[in-house]
Copies of this chain bind each other. A is one copy, B any other.
Amino acid sequence: LGNLTLHDVAREANVSHTTVSFVLKGDPRISAATAERVLAVVKRLGYVPNEMARCLAKGCTSTIALVSPTFSTAYESELLRGIEETMASKHPDYVLVHYSTAGGQERAEALWKQMLRGNRADGFICLSDPPSQSLRQDFAKSRKALVLLDDHIEDTCCIRGDGRLGAQLATEHLLQQGSRRLAIVTSITSEQNQPRCNPERLETFRDICRKSGLEPGHLTVNHYHPDAGKELVSSILRHAWDGIFCAAGDMVSAGIIAGCRLHGVAIPDKLRLIGYDDLPLASLIAPSLTTISQPLFEMGKAAVERCFSLIETRETESPKHIKFDARLIQREST
């Protein structure tokens, strides 16, 4: 509706619309003089190509899609920053768009199909539950790049933190500090697009406990919110746990601390607590939170880089898995 097209520019510049198209993509066949004239018209008219038409004709999109379970996750903040900044600095010509799979398994599946078949992006960076296997095959077929974060599926490129190391550091630290009744807090793996649990952390925790002759406890939450942590406290008291590895993250940990204050449970004297992620929050609450830190910014950067290397080389070789370090940040809660 009143939108400028290539033809408007062409008419104004007295060339064919093909020439305008060539100028815009910098084709060397067009003489400098013509190019300059066309560019001047483009600028004067404020012409911007219609992306839809361009994509349809070219078959690719110049956009990368970031797919996460929700738009509003605090813990991913650094990860997103890594992704954003790497995109902006290394691939300024690409647009990064963010999709949320919120709304249940079915919606998520439909969204993946939309994105994939609707040809909405050239590459996909996924923080959500990974697409199903048949969808992944579609990805491979359609030669779209797919990078999974915090996951480990053999047939797909994955970037993740070292959950085994993180859990090991946390569990051994609790033992060292003298805790003997240990429990882990994880989120629940579920169909409903709810938080999922990192199995590496859980397994490692259990292994180490059992090797030490202890029976590991297991508590679960179904969302990453302080309230979920608060609600855990009565159960923690009932079982008399004295060391909690909150693999569900710092937000839930903060809730546990708040709940303990309400119930008069002294941290770290009666209960030691370790979180995961090292959010800014961790050093602000009282007592401050011992936690496992991952290089989230770097991981985001790596995801973008892998994504583009998949796009550029169209590798078909076995997908690379990249694992990042984890370290323990000790604070007052242990």
Number of A positions contacting B (CB below 8 A)? 65
A286 partner residues in chain B, CB cutoff 8 A:
285-286
Cβ of B84 and Cβ of A80 under 8 Å apart?
no
Q: Tell which of B50, B80, B84, B85 touches A118, judged by Cβ atoms closer than 8 Å.
A: B50
Q: How far is the CB of A223 from chain B (nearest CB, A)?
A: 12
Chain B residue at minimal CB-CB distance from A284: B254
Given that A3-B142, A52-B52 are known contacts, is A84 also in contact with B99, CB under 8 Å in the complex?
Answer: no
Interface residues of A in 104-121 (CB under 8 A from B): 107, 111, 113-114, 116-120
Are A120 and B76 also in contact (CB < 8 A) when A84-B100, A96-B100, A142-B2 are? no
Q: Could you tell me the distance between the alpha carbons of A98 and B64 in the complex, rounded to whole angstroms?
A: 12
Query: Oligomeric state, in number of copies?
Result: 2
A95:B119 contact, CB within 8 angstroms: no
Residues 82-105 of chain A, each 1 if its beta carbon lies under 8 Å from chain B, else 0: 011100100010011111101100
Instruction: Using known A-B contacts A77-B74, A88-B102, A251-B280, determine if residue A48 contacts B114 with beta carbons closer than 8 Å.
Output: yes
Q: Is the CB of B92 within 8 A of A107?
A: yes
Q: Which residues of B contact A116 (CB under 8 A)?
A: 48
Say yes or no: A77 contacts B81, CB within 8 Å. Answer: no
CA distance A25 to B36 in the complex (A): 45
List 4 other contacts, CB 8 Å, given A48-B118, A85-B102, A96-B99.
Answer: A52-B52, A71-B81, A92-B107, A258-B284
Partner-B contacts on A (CB < 8 A): 1-4, 46-53, 55-56, 59, 61, 66, 70-74, 76-78, 80-81, 83-85, 88, 92, 95-100, 102-103, 107, 111, 113-114, 116-120, 141-143, 225-226, 251, 254-255, 257-258, 280-281, 283-286
